[in-house]
């Protein structure tokens, strides 16, 4: 069995592709540096991540694949699910080796896997766009805590900048402990040094702007009244709006 | 904002909630400097109520006072319900503040009729105009046009609203007259015509000057109540098909009749006809995305949709001669007609069969519902147990949905930042 060790970064993964072609040895297993190798390793290689290798592989892919697929590769990476790096690796390899463009060959295991991974991640991006709830802080910044399953914050900021371009806002991933701050011009990565400002997915009340509570109440009242009793269907509600989000959804708090 | 708005919002939402056309779809508009908001293709749902419906817009009435007396409507003059009105400024503030918190995609404004149609339109117009011009609101606006409104006001509304709608409500004029004596088809079709004309003129203008203003870029929609009157599905779908012929008619909504008022002219029903409503949406869907003609879905022999099976399966069972279809060679339109294969899987089939022959296994992986599709396809290694061997009658038994499975799934779409093939 061939094993490659790398630093579990996307750049590292592309460097691993480069090394594999340079050595004509392809990994059966991708491990993080420091992981315990399995028994019966035939060939083992430690990848050094380096920008030139990354760049070479990426520009090679750019020639072989439509832009959409390049995006899909990054989406699959941000899924952070076990084995997704191996799918990406095999996909890239097929893209380089096959004479035709593999992008729509859904009969292929890895092409289909990549598509499915991408779908899961973009679903999560959509959930963010749907269910993020901003709360206005006393200083006028709109604050939204979230906890997505996949690491999708970087994929969601584009939409938020577009939509809320004339207000200052923060989205914050409570699980991964980082977020983005937008100051009406640019987006910056940030972290909270003091998470006590958050309580159960909500801003502490003393940090809220004066009328924030009223607008939350108005919205809740609106939401409650909207239900048509004759059509009750809570199962359908949960299907469309997964319960794991409710903690952050004003009207479900 | 005063506290009494809490009470107002409750009264005016209760009055507006039965209008089900809430989609915020049909137009993509990027953000513009100094303005708040954007619109995105298919529209985004921001929440789901306990009845499972998508909440996309702030759907509310400016007032629920009304001088008309439509039998099916909660706000009719003769009903004894709490009445109130929002000031235009209150509604503007609610829209802006809700939008900034990502509660909504925009506003869906409707109103009961105060004094006369034009007076009402003017009040509504004030809200949308101020939102756009004073508050630089760039999100979605759907405005319900009042039956009988004048051309000038409809035309002005189209400059600010993304979508305009006039509800037909009752599928034949005779029954409309019976239930809504203050309305006529003429008072409904006239503003519809103004909207259509506005859409056409603006398209023409914009061909000449790129900068000409857009008129209701998301087109118009309408709604019909189903089950309050005796029309069959053939009449309803026939009307929809005719409406879709009109320039800019984007959606027809079907609203299963919920008995709100006691009225001798209305049928006594225990519950809303939700399954029928769902079948109508499916049929509507077939007309818009599956290249079905209305006469293929319902005809003189089959004037009503089958409640136990969906209209696509129903068509297939009535047309065994069209099957089996060979998924490896048939054209896209034929593949679309196979029960168990949706638009997405049909596209995937056509895309991937270029590289290798599709097998039953690969079809299942692509997302084809083989439980249904197997009787209608061939792909070289499948056993030949098709609709001909199984017979349509047996398949109908086998593939019927239990009524609870057939409950409506309100159609909604994720926004179109689709990275998915
Ligand atoms: S005009 Fe509209 S609000 Fe008034 S009663 Fe008729 S349907 Fe209801």
What's the CATH code of the domain at B230? 3.20.20.70
Q: What is the mean pLDDT of residues B141-159?
A: 94
Q: Is residue B316 part of a domain?
A: yes
Same domain, B284 and B357: no
What pLDDT, on a 0 to 100 scale, did the predictor assign at position B411?
Answer: 39
Q: Does B260 touch chain A (CB under 8 A)?
A: no
The tally of domains found in chain B comes to: 2
For strands A135-136 and A142-146, give the pairing: antiparallel
pLDDT for residue A252 is more than 90: no
- pLDDT > 90? residue B341: yes
**Residue B262, burial from CB neighbour count under 10 angstroms (0-12, 13-18, 19+):** exposed
**Token pair of A181 as six digits:** 């701050």
* Mean pLDDT to the nearest integer, A3-24: 95
Measured CA to CA, the distance from residue B320 to residue A49 in angstroms comes to 60
Q: Does the pLDDT at position B20 exceed 80?
A: no
Whole-complex ipTM: 0.88
DSSP state of B85: B
Q: Report the pLDDT value the prediction gives residue B391, as an integer from 0 to 100.
A: 87
Answer yes or no: do A235 and A165 share one domain: yes
> DSSP per residue over A173-230, as a string?
ETTTTEEEEE-SS-EEEE--S-GGGEETTEE-GGGB-TTHHHHHHHHHHHHHHH--GG
- Is the pLDDT at B285 greater than 50? The verdict is yes
| One domain, residues B182 and B279 | yes
Check whether residue B10 and residue B84 sit in a common domain. yes
- A6 with A119, same domain: the answer is yes
Residues A59, A96 contacting (CB under 8 angstroms): no
With a cut of 70, say whether residue B410 has pLDDT above it.
Answer: no
Q: What is the pLDDT of residue A39?
A: 86
User: Is B420 part of the contact surface with chain A (CB cutoff 8 Å)?
Assistant: yes
Residues B244 and B330 in one domain: no
**Alpha carbons B411 and B282: distance in angstroms, whole number:** 10
The structure's pTM equals 0.87
Q: Which residues of A touch B10 (CB under 8 A)?
A: 221-222, 225
Does residue B111 sit in the same domain as residue B163?
yes
Higher-scoring residue by pLDDT: B204, B34: B204
| pLDDT of res. B386 | 84
DSSP-based three-state secondary structure for B406: helix
Q: Is residue B302 part of a domain?
A: no
Q: What mean pLDDT is predicted for residues A220-248?
A: 90
Q: Say which of B31, B354, B410 has its CB closest to residue A165.
A: B31
Determine the pLDDT at residue B402: 65
Instruction: Kindly give the number of the ligand 1 atom that is closest to the alpha carbon of B180.
Output: 6
Residues A76 and A157 in one domain: no
The domain total for chain A is 2
Question: For residue A185, what is the nearest residue in chain B, using CA coordinates?
Answer: B33
Q: Does residue B303 belong to any structural domain of this protein?
A: no
Measured between beta carbons, which residues in chain A are less than 8 angstroms from residue B258? 228, 230-231
Given A102, A123, A144, the domain boundary residue is A123
- B133 or B248: which carries more pLDDT confidence? B133
Is residue A172 a contact partner of residue A192, using CB atoms and an 8 Å limit?
Answer: yes
Same domain, A15 and A68: yes
Residue pair B53/B22 in contact by the 8 Å Cβ criterion: yes
**B266 and B368 belong to one structural domain:** no
Kindly report the average pLDDT of chain B as a whole number. 88
* pLDDT for res A198: 84
Among A123, A150, A179, residue at a domain's last position: A123
Q: Among B270, B297, B324, identify where a domain stops.
A: B297
Distance from C-alpha of A232 to C-alpha of B49, rounded to nearest angstrom: 9
Residue B356 CA to ligand 1 center (angstroms) comes to 59
**Do B315 and B281 reside in the same domain of the chain?**
no
Question: Which of A49-53, B13-17, B189-193 has the least mean pLDDT?
Answer: B13-17
Q: Average pLDDT for residues A12-23, to the nearest whole number?
A: 96
Residue B95: per-residue pLDDT: 97
Q: What is the DSSP string of B38-66?
A: -B-TT----EE-TT--EE-EEEEESB---
Q: Tell me, yes or no, whether B321 and B209 share the same domain.
A: no
Residues 6+ apart with CB under 8 A from A220: A250, A251
pLDDT at B161: 96
- B40 and B169 both lie in a single domain: yes
How many of the other CB atoms lie within 10 Å of CB of B109? 28
For residue B63, the cross-strand partners are B85
Per the CB < 8 A criterion, the answer to whether B32 and B138 are in contact is yes
**Residue A212 CB neighbours (<10 A):** 20
Dump the DSSP string for B118-151: HHHHHHHHHHHHHHHHTS-B-SEEEEEPPTT--H
Distance from CA of A171 to the nearest CA of B (A): 12
Exposed, middle or buried by CB within 10 Å (0-12, 13-18, 19+), for B349? buried
Does the pLDDT at position B195 exceed 90? yes
Distance CA A138, CA A144 (A): 14
Is the pLDDT assigned to residue B361 strictly greater than 90?
no
Q: How many angstroms separate the CA of residue A30 from the nearest CA in chain B?
A: 26
Residue B216 lies in a domain: yes
Predicted confidence at residue A228, as pLDDT, reads: 85
Helices of type H across A10-108: 10-23, 51-64, 67-78, 84-97
| Run of H or E residues at B249 | strand B249-256
Strands B377-378 and B325-326 turn out to be parallel
Chain B residues touching residue A72 (CB < 8 angstroms): 419
**Predicted confidence (pLDDT) per residue in B365-408, tens digit:** 888 998 899 899 987 666 678 888 888 888 888 888 765 555 54
Q: Note whether residue B306 is domain-resident.
A: no
d(CA A102, CA A95): 6
State the pLDDT confidence band at B416, using cuts at 50, 70 and 90: very low
Q: Of all helices (H) and strands (E), which one includes residue B164?
A: strand B163-165
* Lowest-confidence pick of A11-20, B32-41, B84-93: B32-41
* Residues A40 and A70 reside in one and the same domain: yes
Residues B381 and B287 in one domain: no
Work out the angle at residue A244's Cα, subtended by the Cα atoms of residues A242 and A247, and round it to the nearest 5 degrees: 115
Class of residue A99 by CB neighbours under 10 A (exposed 0-12, middle 13-18, buried 19+): exposed
Query: pLDDT tens digits for B57-107?
Result: 999 999 999 999 999 999 999 999 999 999 999 999 999 999 999 999 999
The band of B267, judged by pLDDT with boundaries at 50, 70 and 90, is confident
Do residues B97 and B201 both lie within one domain? yes
Task: Among B239, B262, B297, identify where a domain stops.
Answer: B297
Residues A174 and A228 in one domain: yes
* Region B191-217 average pLDDT: 90
**Looking at ligand 1, which residue's alpha carbon is closest to its atom 5?**
B76
Residue B186 has pLDDT above 90, yes or no: yes
- CA B44 distance to own-chain centroid: 14
Interface test with A, best of B101, B352, B364 (most A CBs within 10 A): B101
Q: Final residue of a domain: which of A90, A123, A156?
A: A123
B332: left (phi over 0), alpha (psi -120 to 50) or beta: alpha
Residue B222 in any domain: the answer is: yes
Taking Cα atoms as reference points, which of B23, B30, B414 lies closest to residue B253?
Answer: B23
Task: pLDDT band for B412, please (50, 70, 90 cuts).
Answer: very low
Full residue range of the structural domain in which residue A93 is found: 2-123
Q: Residue B418 has what pLDDT? A: 29
**Residue position matching structure tokens 């290689």:** A45
Question: Is pLDDT at B21 greater than 70 in this prediction?
Answer: no
Q: Are B146 and B100 in contact (CB under 8 A)?
A: no
Q: Report how many Cβ contacts below 8 Å link chain A to chain B.
A: 184
Q: Give the SS3 label for residue B340.
A: coil
| pLDDT the model gives residue A131 | 95
- Are A92 and A21 part of one and the same domain? yes
Per residue in A94-148, pLDDT (tens digit) is 999 988 888 888 888 999 999 999 999 999 999 999 999 999 999 999 999 999 9
User: A136 and A183, same structural domain?
Assistant: yes
Q: Please report, for residues A87, B191, B197, B216, B347, the alpha-carbon distance to residue B156 in angstroms, rounded to integers and kept in the order given.
A: 55, 12, 13, 10, 41
Residues A143 and A193 in one domain: yes
Q: Write out the residue range of the structural domain in which residue B350 sits.
A: 311-420
State whether A105 and A215 are in the same domain.
no
Q: Coil, strand, or helix at residue A124?
A: helix
Is residue B361 within 8 angstroms of chain A, CB to CB?
no
| % of chain B exceeding 90 in pLDDT | 63
Q: Are B36 and A167 in contact (CB under 8 A)?
A: yes
How far is it, in rounded angstroms, from Cα B300 to Cα B318? 14
- A46 and A67 co-located in one domain: yes
Measure the CA angle with vertex A15, ends A10 and A20; round to 5°: 125
Read off the pLDDT of each residue in A165-190 and give the average, rounded to a whole number: 94
Amino acid A60: pLDDT: 93
Domain boundary among B263, B297, B331: B297
Same domain, B149 and B239: yes
The answer, yes or no, to whether any atom of ligand 1 lies below 6 A from the CB of B257, is no
Q: Is A105 in the same domain as A141? A: no
């Amino acid at each position: 069995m061939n094993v490659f060790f790398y630093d579990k970064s996307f750049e590292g993964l592309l460097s691993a592709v480069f090394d594999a072609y340079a050595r004509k040895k392809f990994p059966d297993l991708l491990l993080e540096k420091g992981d315990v190798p399995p028994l019966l390793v035939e060939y083992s290689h430690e990848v050094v991540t380096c920008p030139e290798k990354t760049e070479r592989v990426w520009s090679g892919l750019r020639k072989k694949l439509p832009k959409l697929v390049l995006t899909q590769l990054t989406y699959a990476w941000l899924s952070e699910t076990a084995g997704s790096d191996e799918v990406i690796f095999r996909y890239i390899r097929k893209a380089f080796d096959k004479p035709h463009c593999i992008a729509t060959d859904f009969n292929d295991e890895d092409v289909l896997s990549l598509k499915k991974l991408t779908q899961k991640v973009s679903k999560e991006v959509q959930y963010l766009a749907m269910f993020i709830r901003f709360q206005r802080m006393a200083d006028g910044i709109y604050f939204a805590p979230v906890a997505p399953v996949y690491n999708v914050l970087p994929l969601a900021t584009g939409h938020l900048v577009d939509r809320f371009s004339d207000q200052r806002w923060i989205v914050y991933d409570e699980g991964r402990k980082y977020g983005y701050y937008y100051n009406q011009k640019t987006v910056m990565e940030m972290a909270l040094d003091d998470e006590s400002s958050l309580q159960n997915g909500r801003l502490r009340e003393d940090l809220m702007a004066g009328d924030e509570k009223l607008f939350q109440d108005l919205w809740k009242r609106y939401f409650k009244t909207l239900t048509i009793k004759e059509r009750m269907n809570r199962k359908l509600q949960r299907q469309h709006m997964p319960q794991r989000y409710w903690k952050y959804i004003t009207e479900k708090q | 904002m005063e506290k009494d708005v809490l009470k107002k919002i409750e009264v005016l939402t209760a009055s507006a909630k039965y209008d089900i056309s809430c989609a915020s779809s049909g137009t993509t508009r990027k953000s513009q400097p100094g303005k708040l908001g954007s619109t995105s293709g298919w529209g985004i749902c921001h929440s789901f109520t306990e009845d499972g419906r998508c909440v996309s817009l702030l759907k509310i009435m400016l007032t629920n006072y009304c001088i008309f007396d439509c039998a099916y409507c909660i706000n009719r003059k003769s009903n004894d319900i709490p009445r109130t009105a929002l000031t235009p400024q209150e509604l503007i503030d609610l829209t802006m503040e809700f939008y900034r918190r990502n509660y909504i995609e925009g506003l869906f404004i409707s109103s009961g009729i105060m004094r006369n149609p034009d007076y009402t339109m003017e009040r509504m117009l004030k809200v949308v105009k101020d939102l756009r011009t004073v508050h630089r609101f760039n999100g979605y606006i759907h405005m319900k046009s009042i039956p009988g409104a004048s051309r000038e006001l409809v035309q002005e509304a189209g400059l600010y609203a993304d979508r305009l709608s006039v509800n037909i409500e009752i599928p034949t004029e005779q029954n409309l007259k019976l239930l809504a004596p203050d309305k006529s088809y003429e008072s409904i079709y006239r503003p519809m015509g103004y909207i259509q004309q506005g859409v056409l003129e603006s398209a023409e203008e914009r061909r000449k000057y790129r900068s000409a203003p857009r008129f209701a870029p998301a087109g118009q929609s309408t709604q019909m109540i189903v089950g309050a009157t005796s029309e069959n599905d053939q009449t309803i779908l026939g009307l929809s098909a005719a409406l879709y012929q009109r320039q800019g008619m984007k959606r027809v909504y079907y609203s299963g009749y919920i008995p709100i008022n006691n009225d001798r002219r209305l049928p006594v029903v225990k519950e809303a006809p939700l399954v029928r409503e769902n079948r109508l949406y499916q049929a509507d869907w077939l007309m818009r995305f599956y290249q079905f003609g209305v006469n293929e879905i319902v005809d003189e022999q089959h004037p009503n949709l089958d409640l136990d099976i969906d209209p696509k399966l129903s068509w297939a069972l009535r047309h065994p001669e069209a099957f089996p279809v060979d998924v490896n060679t048939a054209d896209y339109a034929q593949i679309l007609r196979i029960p168990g294969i949706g638009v997405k899987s049909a596209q995937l089939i056509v895309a991937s069969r270029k590289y290798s022959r599709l097998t039953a296994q690969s079809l299942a992986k692509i997302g084809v519902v083989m439980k249904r599709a197997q009787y209608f396809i061939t792909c070289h290694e499948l056993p030949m147990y098709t609709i001909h061997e199984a017979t349509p009658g047996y398949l109908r038994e086998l593939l019927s949905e239990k009524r609870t499975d057939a409950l409506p799934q309100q159609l909604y779409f994720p926004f179109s930042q689709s990275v998915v093939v």
